[in-house]
Each structure stands twice: as C-alpha cells, then as structure tokens.
Amino acid sequence: MEKPIGIIFLKQAEDFLDQTEEPVRKKFFISMNKTKSRIFGEWFKKMIGTNDIFEFRTDHNGKFYRLFAFWDSRSDTQTLIVCSHGLIKKTNKTPKSEIEKAEEIKTKYFKGLI
C-alpha cells in the first residue's frame, strides 16, 4: 500500500499564500487536494533542469502564480510535499534565482537547518 501524501508549508510559502487573493488560495488548495489523492495534472509539475523541484501552478485574472515544492519520502508513515516559497510570474520564464532559492531551501531542509 502506498503511503499517504501530506503537504506542509515552510514559512515563506505560508506567507506567500497569505498574501494572495482568496480565489487564488482556493485554486491552490483544490490542486493540493487532488495531488494528495494522487491525481496529478498540469497544476503540479516537475520543473525541467532542476534538482527535483516541483511547482504548484495556477492563474487568476491574467496573473500566473507558482508555489515551489519538493518531496520528502523519508518517513515510513507518509510522504510529504514540502512547499518552500512562491511567486507571481510576470513572464513565461521562471527566474533562475527563484529556482536556485528553492534548491537551496531544499538542501537546508534535508540538512535539518529549517
């Protein structure tokens, strides 16, 4: 039997979600509930060319919102998706600095520094 999927938010991810409009938060939480149920789609994708960084994706009123995340499957009881931080995209391309930030947060998380 597969382990259940849980989703946790690091401080920066929580702060990002708190600053978004309610319809955006609702869309993110709908996507997260689908993902926790092992239903995967365009709303949760692995970012190409990264160290296993994923992103929850949604849009609202012409703005594109991204919440960066990574998997933590070390527990015997559940697999976690750890949300690190988010951004509102203004262009089609995700800034390299944001990907590097997600990878740095992931490294610190697995070293127990976060």
The three-state DSSP-derived secondary structure of 80-111 is: EEEEEEEEEECCCCCCHHHHHHHHHHHHHHHC
- In tens, the pLDDT along 26-37 reads 999 999 999 999
Pair of tokens at residue 22: 């309610």
Phi/psi of residue 103, each to 5°? Answer: -65, -35
For the domain 5-110, what is the CATH code? 3.30.2310.20
Rounded to whole angstroms, how far apart are CA atoms 34 and 101? 26
- In tens, the pLDDT along 38-76 reads 999 999 999 999 999 999 999 999 899 999 999 999 999
Can you state the percent helix, strand and coil of the chain, rounding each to 5? 35, 30, 35
Percent of the chain at pLDDT exceeding 90? 87
Domain ranges of the chain: 5-110
